[in-house]
Amino acid sequence: MRSDEPCFGTWLSSGSPVVAELAAQCGFDWLLLDMEHGCLPEADLLSNLRATGGSDAMIVVRVPTHEAGLIGRALDWGADAIMVPHVETAGEARELVRAMRYPPEGARGYSRSVRAYGYGLSAPDTRVGPLLFAQIESAKGIANVDAIASVSGVHVLFIGPADLKLSLSTEPAAPSYAEALDSVIRASKTHGVHAGILIRNRNDTETTLGQGFTRIAVDSDISILRAGFVSCRPKW
């Protein structure tokens, strides 16, 4: 996930550690634990992180807000990366980086006894910061995407398709959705960060890679389960 190679993940919204554990064994490069729209409360985050702990997949936690305390707890409990919704300005991005980094680059509180460092049994490398996925989900975010991408510590500009389409539809002077995607991809290439997006059909993978996206989430556990249940529903 720190390389330039395309990486593929999936969305975990059920909040189930069993589903998370299963997904972690299926060869994804990364997994997204969703605390914003998913059924994952903070109280269950630790059990989901434990369930995925034996895999090689990078674990990304999507927090519901920009609150620094919650970001710090997710990292202390073992998240490898944080996804933050509705990032609209470079100033917001800088504050998120500060919440994720130790001094002098940031303001994150430091403890060697947290789960991320083996409860004190492993030596942390405070020079390597966790990855930040900044979600671009609004017309304002698109307008400022170049400045957001320029912030040191932002690793991925991640499109939130549903929110972005809704926001663009409410702004008369906003660009089209396709133009907005192009803006994100250009900004990512200019500043050497990755562009990411959630797609619902794995058959769209090649097209999405061709557009310039390199951090791609394919479908979600809820969608996969729904399709499975519907496919085996009795027809009589």
Residues catalogued as catalytic: 37
Helix or strand or coil: residue 144?
coil
Residue from 200, 207, 208 nearest 224 by CA: 200
What single DSSP character describes residue 64? Answer: S
d(CA 71, CA 118): 19
C-beta separation of 66 from 96 below 8 A: yes
83 - beta bridge partners? 62, 133
Residue located via tokens 């500009």: 157
